[in-house]
Structure 1
């Protein structure tokens, strides 16, 4: 297809995504005078998912957690969907964090919205069947207003290519099929999906539970495993004790509640949200609590401003940019100053204060184990992580990252290099 057929209204700027479904572009809407997103799917594709996605998206337009549907259509080569342009997905945001995980406050704020968004999808009669961090994306700040007098939330549920209608024309739950096959993403799929059973509303919530554990701990016990059968075996071995260790007791309660749900049961979404809300208030969070990325951005902006002031002072005193060049080179190779190292630690303290404090108060006898656990999370092997996620990083980027880390260790000779902010798209250290 020639993309020029859509340029009478939508001017294509750049590709922002690609997968088995097709391609996603950022485009400028000449009629609305704003940037939007377009999903393209070839007509000759064997399995067409875009028609289903359009159907579900249009049905949940009253949801506070749905991206705005703008238009859809077909030309000689492609089906297309025009929708609201969203920001980073939660998988990308998590990898950008200093410790490759979210704080308790951010996890709870997101979790409440994620449960509500899944409930909205279920209310229109559909299962999502592929709940994972990359299928939730942030709404751009300029779009967080209202639609149809409904206040919009930060987090949107996306990608309904694997969705399935679970009720019949009379609104009754459809009986399970005998043979279904695996549906979803192995890391987050429920045990029922691994067993080839028909999925229901409880299974979307099981996937979300695994997402919560990954958010808080940085990874799941099977995150490094590719084999689907081995992942299934590990899931059966890890009970609530192993998965919820060192987490607020409400997560174990959630595990037990989901275990009690049967195929046709209507989950108590309000109860699940209340579990998270109880944690939120218990640890002193409130409506002014900021997301981790907001705290990091503010702190790094402050550091940039401070560094800029120091550079200006150096130029004023010496009348030369030689010191500026030396300072910049240090940041390029990752050999940062003690002041910056202190700033990175301050950001960690800002993001992870209450959870560590409360956990320590509740588990005085295990404080040493918890501290070691945190250190293990902080000093995780990034190289291994990238090699195990080749869909995220190319081999050349991994090699470049390894070289950069060796250079940093030689230059710094410190134990703080893993505190760096890792740029996961380039596989190198991004100090500023």
Structure 2
């Protein structure tokens, strides 16, 4: 396996990866099983390379209705190599189909792996992988809904993710980076959701032997800072409870719009301490996030159940499902398999805030009052095309209101630590729809 990229220290940018050159439509790649695949048009680009529409090789060009996508990167790069190991071990079509049948599921949100190999052209080598084509990601849906999902939808997503996590955990892996931008709807069925991006997937139990708990300062805060687990903040390898802890943070954010520590993501120790305080007093955490009439008791019960899990313990998946099902009954709903992405009428409009992947070294200047609100509003003035707008007379600036959420104490939920702490960065590729 290629060595992992070293963490970026303070003041140093992560090493740049080579970008794959774009292949023309019709390029034929042959996988390790001697099966030929034809590239269509590129539909996305990430730090690792390009994503193309793809299909089995034939005389016909690859159309816009292609069932597959093909990820291609220079063979010297590492992200796709790491993800490929997961797909080869745990995402073969027969494995997924057998699980669906034995567990009486209608669907399982793990993309199927169809082939991979190396391709040479003009003296250069490229790695490629063929998987199911998917649709839009949930982060786009979350923003379209005003950054708040309906309670029924959140509980349904929780149930779908429990199915997915139980499957990948049973196949010796944890995901370690669950978030809306890593959840994608099916290309053909908007009621099916898939967990993607296994670049951080970790084989926690090779050959059935669970890894020991060991903190490594060089690995502290791996993952996406606002969601990552306390284990990861401490530098320990992710485990099954880590995935479920991340899921809890996602469900809370989807319900109330933001997490209490999101204003200080540049300070990973503050984020870590905030999460530890959350686990120590879950009831207080829920009060910080929700009004008394909107508090989802099932999420608190879910978190309380996870609190007692040890590092190597197997989660009680069925009990966790029953907790979420009870939540649906509370709101007189049921898991009917239909996911409705509709804005919540009573949702508070929140300022746009990008999901932060492995944070860059946090040595950027912060506002003296600790609030990132002004900084983010200023950033919004940039034109999306990267062009300067023509100078024009602007009206008298009006006073910018404080955050619309009537919970100013959110920022104080944790122990303040010194800002500017350097954080690791592995240069995660930008998410693209597949």
Q: Assess same fold via TM > 0.5.
A: yes
CA offset digits 1:350-400 (Å, max 9, x no partner): x55xxxxxxxxxxxxxxxxxxxxx5xx52333487796599x979323999
Partner of 2:199: 161
Please list every run of 5 or more consecutive structure 1 residues that lacks an aligned counterpart in the other structure: 145-152, 297-347, 353-373, 419-432
CA 1:272–1:398 in 2, change beyond 3 Å: closer, same or farther?
Answer: farther
CA RMSD of superposed structures (Å): 3.7
Matches within 5 A, 1:86-235: 86-97=134-145, 99-141=146-188, 154-169=192-207, 171-179=208-216, 181-182=219-220, 183-227=222-266, 228-235=268-275
Shift, 1:203, TM fit? 0.4
Following the alignment from structure 1 to structure 2, what is the Cα–Cα distance between the partners of residues 119 and 109?
Answer: 16
Higher normalized contact order (CA 8 Å, seq sep 6+, divided by chain length): 2
Q: 1:26 aligns with which of 53, 70, 73?
A: 53
Partner of 2:40: 12
Following the alignment from structure 2 to structure 1, what is the Cα–Cα distance between the partners of residues 27 and 165?
Answer: 35
Moved more, 74-83 or 29-38: 29-38
Q: 1:51 aligns with which of 84, 97, 103?
A: 84
Please list every run of 5 or more consecutive structure 2 residues that lacks an aligned counterpart in the other structure: 1-20, 29-36, 100-107, 354-371, 405-434
Q: Is it true that 1:380 corresponds to 2:350 in the alignment?
A: yes
Partner of 2:5: none
Q: SS at the partner of 1:199?
A: coil
Count of residue pairs the alignment pairs up? 318
Matches within 5 A, 1:353-372: none
Q: SS at the partner of 1:93?
A: helix
Partner of 2:321: 273
Q: 1:41 aligns with which of 51, 69, 73?
A: 73
Q: Is it true that 1:243 corresponds to 2:288 in the alignment?
A: no
Contact 2:136–2:185, Cα closer than 8 Å, also in 1: yes
Q: 1:3 aligns with which of 23, 27, 43?
A: 23
Partner of 1:71: 115
CA 1:288–1:160 in 2, change beyond 3 Å: closer, same or farther?
Answer: closer
TM (normalized to structure 2)?
0.64
Following the alignment from structure 1 to structure 2, what is the Cα–Cα distance between the partners of residues 192 and 24?
Answer: 33
CA 1:156–1:205 in 2, change beyond 3 Å: closer, same or farther?
Answer: same
Following the alignment from structure 1 to structure 2, what is the Cα–Cα distance between the partners of residues 92 and 389?
Answer: 20
Shift, 1:178, TM fit? 4.7
Partner of 1:370: none
More helix by share: 1
CA 1:52–1:408 in 2, change beyond 3 Å: closer, same or farther?
Answer: farther
CA 1:28–1:289 in 2, change beyond 3 Å: closer, same or farther?
Answer: closer
